[in-house]
Amino acid sequence: MDEQTRAEVAHLQESLYGWAFGDVKRTAQKAEAPIGAFILGAHFIDTLAGLARTKGDGRAAWDEFVPRYLPRYTGHVYLLYKGFRGATSHHYSAEGIRFVQGESNAPRHWTEEEGERVLHLETFIKDLEAGWEKFFADLEDEDFRTRVVDRAREKPPLGIRGGGPVSVGDVIRVAGSHPTHFGPRPGTAVTSASAASASFWPTTVELAEATPFRFEPPPTPPEKRAIPKGKPKRQRKSKG
């Protein structure tokens, strides 16, 4: 593998595993925003499916991706694609999916309740990580790696530049021919299980700490002064 491709693959790891999947975990655990974690998880699947596809995108990409990388959900691709990914993204809703979280609800995962499939957050996150590990291992195959890297060059994955608080200006897109090193804020080093066997892959990715969002209410505008409309009419003097 040439140095450029090696750098691009390293960027994929940092962006997709360190940030995209890392944000799923941070949102669920530290931000305590379970719905947000589910939505980010759906987008994570969409991204990997789009990179891995051999034919069409959208639903066709999910038809290819899910049986290989998320085998637990085989046979329910349409439900995941339309009722989960589509409904959460476009309507902040869900169709045929029931969201649960917490250790006590783990046995309910992907069981059917009142016509809906139960999606348990913590189990879902574990399945996403297992899917990533399989995707990662497949990058050892040259044909697969070429397909993924070529698509990443067309639409480079996001990342964060610099060590300070995240702002809109910090979000950058990296051209495939000019990979950029990201400097995430200090966090917990997360080891990729399959990284040890891959010579081209760093063994750890820094998952940056989430920056808490603080709502600042807008300043109260000053009271508006009544502005008279037009000139007052003069009173006619009565003729006496």
Q: What is the pLDDT of residues 78-90, one digit of tens each?
A: 999 999 999 999 9
Spatial separation of the C-alpha atoms in residues 109 and 40, rounded to whole Å: 18
For residue 97, CA distances in Å to 34, 36, 227 come to 14, 15, 56
Q: Which of 39-48, 52-61, 161-170 has the lowest mean pLDDT?
A: 161-170
55-107 per-position pLDDT tens digit: 888 999 999 999 999 999 999 999 999 999 999 999 999 999 999 999 999 99
pTM of the entire structure? 0.69
Helices (H), 76-120: 77-78, 87-91
Spatial separation of the C-alpha atoms in residues 148 and 143, rounded to whole Å: 9
Residue 3 confidence (pLDDT): 82
The residues near 102 (Cβ < 8 Å, ≥ 6 apart) are: 122
